[in-house]
Homo-oligomer: A and B are copies of this chain.
Amino acid sequence: MRSRGTCIRQGDVFYMNFSSYQELINKGLKTYLPAGEAYAHRVRQAMEYSLLGGGKRIRPLLCLLACEAVGGNKREALPAACALEYIHTYSLIHDDLPEMDNDDFRRGRWSCHKKFDEPTALLAGDALLTEAFTLLSAKQVMKKVPSPIRLAVIQEIASAAGIRGMIVGQEADLAAEKKKVSSDFLRFIHTRKTAAVIRASLVSGGLIGGAGAAELKGLRQFGEKIGLAFQIKDDVLNVEGNPRLMGKKTGTDQKKAKATYPLLMGLEPSKLLGRELISGAEKALKIFGQKAEPLKQVGDYIFSRDR
């Protein structure tokens, strides 16, 4: 990874390396968002506010890179990449609502229901989730991708986001508050809540790029491990991160007595586990040889990031 000295933060290097991807993703997010309707504009505004208000764009980036790793053209995967960011953003909007995590800030700005209001935030989340599937099935996009592959992409993403993936993870996360949980239960939460959609980002990019079974297996394993590491890093940052850099408060997990790795096993062992997962994840990319370098860079960033 390029680095011009210690005054440059890990995150800056990461964004420099992938700035052309970030530009492509941000342009896609703007382009694909449907125009508003007459009479009612507030939900449409709230979708845009939350979607275009920053964010690391890790999931869409992984989708584009997985497509390239198997020899595909990243532009073909852009609609799927954007749909994944829609789904991620919907999950943040709903998680921030008062009946869930009740967070007033997100990415250094008001969370959606604070900026707008609760009904608008609820509907904006619903709309982003729905638009993900409108986009994935749109006739005018991904024209070169065979229809059965497109259906497989929808299946991969919907399953990961649903009751056996992200949603049951969020449910279990809420249920685990103020409880002593086993490491098996905590792993269950993190793999569903976070790793499922990260894995789906890689698999869907691979599918669009024309991956074979062995390549898909490698992407799946890589995704599971970096996804778990991603959530462990989130937990670690909630303990020792810099609130200014992160754009949100830290220490909130402890306050709510959330089930986290630092609470279960301590801060340093959590970091060790995270690093082990990243290194295990990189091994799963062996089949791609040199082509896996960008994915490995993202893997490294996931556990070294400071926000």
Contact = CB atoms under 8 A, between A and B. Distances in A.
B37 A168 contact: yes
Given A34-B163, A38-B188, A167-B126, A158 B134 contact: yes
A154 B155 contact: no
A304 to B, nearest CB: 31
A241 B125 CA distance: 34
How big is chain A's contact interface, by range? 35 or more
A114 to B, nearest CB: 13
A137 B163 contact: no
Chain copies in complex: 2
Contacts of A127: 162-163, 167
A201 interface: no
Interface of A is mostly: helix
Given A131-B162, A133-B133, 20 more contacts: A34-B164, A36-B163, A37-B163, A37-B164, A37-B168, A39-B189, A40-B171, A43-B171, A94-B126, A119-B174, A120-B171, A126-B126, A126-B167, A130-B161, A131-B163, A134-B155, A134-B162, A139-B151, A139-B152, A147-B151
Interface of A: 34, 36-40, 42-44, 47, 90, 94, 97, 99-100, 117-120, 122-123, 125-127, 129-131, 133-134, 136-139, 146-148, 150-152, 154-155, 158-159, 161-164, 167-168, 170-172, 174-175, 185, 188-189, 192
